[in-house]
Structure 1
Amino acid sequence: MQTRVAAFTRAVVYDRAGLGRSAPDSAGRTLDRMADDLNDLLDGLEPSSGFVQVGHSAGGP
């Protein structure tokens, strides 16, 4: 999906801490921490004209 989207706009993909290519997080993972991580990422990217976020289930019941 990223490759197709990147053909016509900027596309960014990230792995949450401890998943994929990201380093493990020594602190416990909570929903609040995951939201803070994503917010920090977006602040660092400084999108100039908004963004569309696409996600999928994190699993669980």
Structure 2
Amino acid sequence: MKLCVDRTKCTGLGICESLAPDYFEIDDAGQLLVLREHTDDRDIDDVRAAIEGCPTEALALVED
């Protein structure tokens, strides 16, 4: 599965980073960095929690 970010919605709050730090990072300028675009099965729960926890609904998973 592939991570998608709607950059027009992302406000850089960092909830995703706290829930899935191997996949998301907020840089010094407050911009979201996607560290790994594709998820693997062992991390899928953390990634889904980050997506569900995003208050602006800027994150999504799509099939490859």
Bigger RCO (CA 8 Å, 6+ sep): 2
Greater Rg by CA: 1
Compare the two structures and name the one with the higher strand fraction: 2
Compare the two structures and name the one with the higher helix fraction: 1
TM (normalized to structure 2)? 0.30
TM (normalized to structure 1)? 0.31
